[in-house]
Amino acid sequence: MRAAVVDAVNAPWRVREVDTPRPGPGEVLIRVHASGVCHNDVLVSRGVFPFPQLDPVVIGHEPAGEVVEVGAGVTTRQVGDRVGATWVQGTCGRCEHCRRDPGLTGRAATSCPGVRMTGLNAPGGHAEYVAVSAASTVLLPEALGYEAAAPMLCAGYTAWSALRTANPRPHERVAVLGIGGLGHLAVQFSRACGFDTVAVTRTPDKHELARKLGADEVVGDGAALRAAGGADVILVTGTSYAAATDALAGLRPRGRMVLAGIDPGGTLAIGPTFPIWSRGQQILGATHLGLDRLGEALDLAAGGAVTPMVETFDADRADEVVRRVERNEVRFRAVLRF
Ligand code: ZN
Ligand code: ZN
C-alpha cells in the first residue's frame, strides 16, 4: 500500500510502498479515503513531541474510510461500514487511571502507561490502509462525506469537547480564541447551540470569515474582548499560551477558560495582580471526552449545523501539505486523499 512515511525527525514525508497491515484480533482494517492533518502530526514529525518508535513511521489520527476486513472476535463492525478512527485506540484497563476513569478518552493519553495511540505508538492514518481496534471507531453518519468527516475526528472532537467542558449555560457568552483548525469549528459549535459567540483573532483577514462562520462579534485580543463586555467562556483553540494569558483580560467573573490546544513552548501566566481568586474564575483542560461526545459532533456536522472547511490534497503532496500546515497557510484543515 501507499503510505506517507517519515523516516526520521525532520525528514520529509515521503509517500512510498509499505506492507499492507492485516487486522489483529479485535481490529478492523480501514481503506482510508480521507486523512486529516492535525497540527500535532507536524509537531510529532519535527520531534517536538516524542517521535514514534514505529517501523515504518506513519503518523495521523484522523482517518475516515471503509471497513474492508474485520479481525477475529469483532462483532460490532462489518465489511462495508463507513467509519472514522480516533487518537486513543486502547488502554491497559488495569492501571490506577483505568480503574478510576475507564474508557477511550484523551485523558488516558497522558495517564495510562499502556495507552495505544493511532499514529503515535500504533500505525497511523496517513496511508491507504490502517488497522485499528474496532472499539475505537465510530460509524459515520450517511450524510457526512469522508473529507468532511476526517477533521471531525480530532479537530472537531476536541473543539466540541472544549465547549462541553466549559458547560455554558443559557444567556452566557462564548469566546473562541484562535480561528484555525479547531477554532473555526468551535465558533460554529457555539452558534449551533445558540450562544452569543465572539471570535478572538489577531489576524485581520480572518475577521470577515469568522463572522461568516457565525461569530456575532470579532475582536483582536483580550483587552478588546473586555471592552466588548467580556465572555463567560473562553475556548483556547490555538497553540499560543501567551495569547491565552492575554485573553484572560476578557474573562468575566465566574468565567471558565478552557485550554484545548497545545503550546509546545509557551506558558500560561497568572501574575500576582490578576485577581482570578476574587473573580472565581476557572482554568480547565479539555481533550477528547469519549466516543459519545464525538457522535454528537458528527451529528452536528451531518445535519449541516457545522461545516468543516477543508483543503484536500492528493497524498503525493504530503510533504508540501505538512509545510503549509506548519506555516499556518491551510484554511482550515488539510485532508490527504489516498
Ligand atoms: Zn489531533
Ligand atoms: Zn491504564
Q: Is 99 among the domain residues?
A: yes
Euclidean distance between CA atoms 216 and 195, whole angstroms: 9
Segment 190-228, tens digit of pLDDT: 999 999 999 999 999 999 999 999 999 999 999 999 999
Q: Are residues 30 and 128 located together in one domain of the fold?
A: yes
* pLDDT at residue 11 in the model: 97
Neighbours of 7 (CB within 10 A): 13
For 30, the domain range is 2-139+309-337
* pLDDT at residue 276 in the model: 94
Find, among 147, 200, 164, the residue nearest to 292 by Cα.
Answer: 164
DSSP string, 264-313: SS------TT--HHHHT-EEEE-----HHHHHHHHHHHHTTS----EEEE
Q: Rounded to the nearest whole angstrom, what is the distance from the C-alpha of residue 58 to the centroid of ligand 1?
A: 14
Please report, for the domain that includes residue 223, its CATH number.
3.40.50.720
Q: Which ligand is nearest to the CA of 111?
A: 2
Q: Is 149 among the domain residues?
A: no
Q: Which ligand is nearest to the CA of 153?
A: 1
Q: Rounded to the nearest whole angstrom, what is the distance from the C-alpha of residue 163 to the centroid of ligand 1?
A: 17
275: which strand partners? none
Ranges of residues in the chain with a pLDDT under 70 are: none
Q: Is 25 among the domain residues?
A: yes
Q: Rounded to the nearest whole angstrom, what is the distance from the C-alpha of residue 326 to the centroid of ligand 1?
A: 14
* pLDDT at residue 280 in the model: 97
Segment 257-271, tens digit of pLDDT: 999 988 989 999 999
Euclidean distance between CA atoms 137 and 130, whole angstroms: 12
Q: Rounded to the nearest whole angstrom, what is the distance from the C-alpha of residue 114 to the centroid of ligand 2?
A: 5
Q: Is 299 among the domain residues?
A: no
Q: Are residues 131 and 37 located together in one domain of the fold?
A: yes
Euclidean distance between CA atoms 44 and 327, whole angstroms: 15
Q: Are residues 82 and 183 located together in one domain of the fold?
A: no
The model's pTM is 0.97
Tally of structural domains, the chain: 2
Please report, for the domain that includes residue 321, its CATH number.
3.90.180.10
Q: Is 151 among the domain residues?
A: no
Euclidean distance between CA atoms 175 and 122, whole angstroms: 35
Q: Are residues 111 and 7 located together in one domain of the fold?
A: yes
Which residue, 269, 285, 301, sits at the end of a domain? 285
Q: Rounded to the nearest whole angstrom, what is the distance from the C-alpha of residue 39 to the centroid of ligand 1?
A: 7
Q: Is 146 among the domain residues?
A: no
Q: Which ligand is nearest to the CA of 61?
A: 1
Residue 27 DSSP SS3: strand
